[in-house]
């Protein structure tokens, strides 16, 4: 049905907003089906860059699945980086990095941290508070790789500071240890 509507739009004038809605729904359908290749082809078929940007941003704002969000954040960063405001750019890059970190977690546990996908530093803190040390190690390694040369509102130093804070708390004993004498 989407393809038929797209053909119709080529033959007859369709209001811009209706065209954006059609392509957005088609794109979200393809992404939810896991067909990233067809989704990319759909975006490449759209001739007007303004329409393509609107479709991509609106699709991302619909909060699709983790893989779809990752795809859209990557696409927007790769193709429309200069067209985005600094705040929006940072938001999209944070979502890209957060979704990448989420993908490093065990699949069954991702749902517990999905709501933090646009706030990777907070996700890392939540993992620390939940004592998921092995997951934190993988997440930190991923963050270090992804943050190299990027500006998204936090730095590697912020990650190190967070780790130091929780390491200090882990070693803080609220009571004194007494020696047992035999």
User: pLDDT tens, 19-74?
Assistant: 889 899 999 999 999 899 999 998 998 888 999 999 999 999 888 888 899 899 99
Q: What is the pTM of this model?
A: 0.75
Alpha-carbon distances, residue 94 vs 9, 72, 101 (angstroms): 35, 12, 10
Residue 121 has pLDDT above 90, yes or no: no
Q: How is the chain split into domains, by residue range?
A: 1-84, 85-170
Residues ≥6 apart with Cβ < 8 Å to 7: none
Contact 66, 110 (CB under 8 A): yes
The pLDDT, as a whole number, for residue 86 is: 86
């Amino acid at each position: 049905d989407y393809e038929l509507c797209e053909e119709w739009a080529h033959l007859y004038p369709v209001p811009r907003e209706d065209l954006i809605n059609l392509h957005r729904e088609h794109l979200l359908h393809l992404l939810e089906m896991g067909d990233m290749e067809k989704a990319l082809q759909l975006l490449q078929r759209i001739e007007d860059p303004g329409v393509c940007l609107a479709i991509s941003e609106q699709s991302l704002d619909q909060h699709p699945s983790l893989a779809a969000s990752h795809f859209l954040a990557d696409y927007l960063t790769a193709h429309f980086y200069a067209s985005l405001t600094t705040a929006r750019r940072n938001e999209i890059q944070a979502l890209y990095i957060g979704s990448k970190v989420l993908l490093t977690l065990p699949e069954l546990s991702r749902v517990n941290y999905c709501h933090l996908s646009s706030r990777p530093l907070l996700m890392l803190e939540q993992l620390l508070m939940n004592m998921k040390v092995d997951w934190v190690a993988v997440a930190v390694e991923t963050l270090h790789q992804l943050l190299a040369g990027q500006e998204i509102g936090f730095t590697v130093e912020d990650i190190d500071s967070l780790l130091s804070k929780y390491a200090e708390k882990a070693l803080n004993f609220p009571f004194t240890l007494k020696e047992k004498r035999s």
